[in-house]
Every structure is written in C-alpha cells, then in structure tokens.
Structure 1
Amino acid sequence: MRFIQSWYASNCDGEWEHEFGIRIATTDNPGWHIEVDVRETDLQGVIVPREKLDLPGGGWMIAWSDGSVFQAACGPLCLGYVDALFERMTEGAAAVEGGKSD
C-alpha cells in the first residue's frame, strides 16, 4: 500500500485530512475492504466502473469509484493489487488533466 500511503500524505494539507481520509477494514470472506475518499483531490469526479478481477493464486479483487469514493474489496493477500490499481487510476487522471486545454 505504498502508493496509497504516499497519495494520502500528499493530500494532507492541515485541512483535508480532518474531513476526508482512508478506511481499511477486514471482511469475513476473508479479505479487505478499502475506501479512499477522493473528494477535494485531483481524483474527484474520476469514475471507475465496478470490475471484478480474478488474480493469481486464487486471489480476487472488486474495485470501483463513483467520483467521490474509491472502493475496493479483495482477498487477504491482494492489497498490493488494490494499491497498483489506485496508482493507475491516479496516473490516468493526471494524463487526462494534462491533456485539457483552457
């Protein structure tokens, strides 16, 4: 979860982190559920359709974003895949932002 940690730290400005943040919980599947509040960040408004992925070694991940909250659920050994997907989402948003003309 190195990228998500870095992304979180980069958005902490003395105000944002008091209202928004990241929640990570275990599930009884077993697995994880992650919620990253992207409001008031560069990812606000970025929609990611819900997608289920079968991962190596029997792992799994479901992820989506409604433009306000990025959510993912995954198997107990799959947090790295969530981190990588979130990083790709961020890079994609930056590419779109960089291509906008004023």
Structure 2
Amino acid sequence: MSATLIKRLQNWYASQCNEDWEHSYGVFICNIDNPGWSLKVELKDTYLYETKFEEIHIQRDDEDNWAVCKVEEGNFQGYGGPDNLEELLGIFLDWAEASENS
C-alpha cells in the first residue's frame, strides 16, 4: 500500500530539515478566492532548487476543476480549484520523489 499524500509530504519535509532549512524555508497551503488552493514549496537549499520542472496547465470541463504548477523564483507554485488540492500535492511529490531518485 502506498503512503498517503500527507504522509509523503511529511516525509519530504522531514528529509529537508537539517537544523537550517526549516528555520528559513517551508511549505505553505492557502486558499485562494477563485475559489481554490495555493501550494508553495520553497526549494532553496534543497536538491530540487536547480531541478527542471515542466510547467503544467490543466483545465477540465468543469470550470472549478483546474491546476497550474510551475517553478518560479526558486519556489514550486501550485494553484488549483477547490477539489484539486490533492492533485497539487501529488504533482509536487511525484516530481520531488522522481528527482531524488534520478
């Protein structure tokens, strides 16, 4: 059985904590007024900082079912509709885990 998205995020966060990173950087989940979600992961001083990420734009038939993910100014930025938070977390974690193992 695979780990839940929250457990995977906790594992990724814990693996970055080195008595320095966690004092300056972090992971932020906020709501936005579209309505929807914002996910920001600060990548500085992580193995992902220089890792290429192909920008993602998804718009499905339902206007509230969308996702946009990119790396900008050293941060992973994900935005999505009210039911797309899991998708944003999955996109980030799939990229992070694949990059760690390559």
Q: TM-score when scaled to structure 1?
A: 0.79
Q: Could you tell me how far 1:94 is from its partner in structure 2?
A: 2.5
Aligned partner of 1:53 in structure 2 is 58
**Going by fraction, where is strand more abundant, 1 or 2?**
1
Identical-pair percentage? 28
Q: Which runs of 4+ in 1 moved over 4 A?
A: 55-58
1:66 matched to 2:72: yes
**Unpaired stretches in structure 1, ≥5 consecutive residues:** 97-102
Q: Give the number of equivalent residue pairs.
A: 96
**Unpaired stretches in structure 2, ≥5 consecutive residues:** none
Aligned partner of 2:81 in structure 1 is 75
RMSD over aligned CA atoms reads: 2.1
**Going by fraction, where is helix more abundant, 1 or 2?**
1
Aligned partner of 1:40 in structure 2 is 45
Q: What amino acid does structure 1 have at the position aligned with 2:98?
A: G
Q: What is the DSSP-based 3-state SS (H/G/I as helix, E as strand, rest coil) of the residue aligned with 1:18?
A: helix
* Aligned-partner Cα distance in 1 for 2:34–2:44: 29
User: Within 5 A, what are the aligned runs for 1:6-17?
Assistant: 6-17=11-22
